Amino acid sequence: MLIDLEKRVLSLVDEDEVIRWTQELVRIPSVYRPEKGEAEEPAARWVEARLEEIGLETTFEFVEPGRPNVIGIWRGAEGGKTLMFEGHTDVVTEGDVSHWTYPPFEAEIVNGKMYGRGANDMKGGLVAAICAIKAIVESGVKLGGDILIGAVCDEEGRMIGIKHFVKQGWADNVDAAIVCEPEENHLCISQKGVMWMRVTATGKMAHGCMPLTGVNSAYPMAELLVTVQGIEAAQIAEHGRHEFLGQPSITPTIMRSPVRGEPQNNAMPARTEAVLDIRLIPGQSPEEIEARIKAACDTIHARDERVAFEVKVLEARAPTATDRDEPVVKVLDQA
């Protein structure tokens, strides 16, 4: 049952304003297109303006030119806990506009649904967080700690925004965080980790009619991928299925042979490249998987020293899990 204070806060949430603000934000394109000089700054400026209107302390930090983070703080009792709301201002490309039923950046509402790139992922969620903070501020409730909101850039790419946010120390004193991603109103308390790895096998190019004069890089790569499949099976056997995330995986996604230049029917590739998309569940170690793949490369090289491997980790993010008994989980479960 809601207490009177909670009812007062909820009564101050203006649904029409939530809709109107979401439309305004969706109408600000924030696809990252460096070739056109387009990025998140206009959308971030809109967020900054709303936070300042509400009365939050704001900080505007550029991670890269045109790619800022916006941070807002509402101060409560000194020494208390900090609750954070997090969202991102960038959106994925709208693609071929001819496939859209309604224009992607006009946020039209038809039969009770808003159509627009980013309405769901995740400008609607970001606006919801802003409006929730606004209602709390307007209610005059005395908080036992601080509210922090971070609207970061580049969630859809290299995640430079949240990395910069953490590096700058904004997350140091956060006790609980609500990430406002669209998850069909489900509480998500676990998240897979990811490691993207690029493996390159190098041999020696030769003409197809004289293969013995070269070293075909495709074969050692094929052997490695079969071994990687075995590593995946071993990880599944060891770690099983997570109750929310399912099983871990190692998926070859990009294959290039040759890596550069135009492929020819009669040219044996000197270099073959594969990108592995490795998805991790809690309990797995990215370092262990990397070590196993490197060991497999070393084994192949030991049998034929003419073959060289290079392994480069492009990105690594550990899996996360929040205990279902954490206070923030229990409170949100009852909301």
Residue 295: in which H helix or E strand, if any? helix 286-303
For 117-172, how does the pLDDT look when each residue is reduced to its tens digit (9 = 90+)?
Answer: 999 999 999 999 999 999 999 999 999 999 999 999 999 998 999 999 999 999 99
DSSP per residue, 171-231: TTT-SEEEE----TT----EE-EEEEEEEEEE-B-EETT-GGGSB-THHHHHHHHHHHHHH
Q: Phi first, then psi: what are they for 150, rounded to 5°? A: -125, 120
Over the stretch 35-73, which tens digit does the pLDDT of each residue have? 999 999 999 999 999 999 999 999 999 999 999 999 999
pLDDT in tens, 257-294: 999 988 999 999 999 999 999 999 999 999 999 999 99
What pLDDT does 206 receive? 95
Minimal CA–CA distance to 174: which of 82, 75, 58?
82
Domains of the chain: 4-182 (3.40.630.10), 191-317 (3.30.70.360)
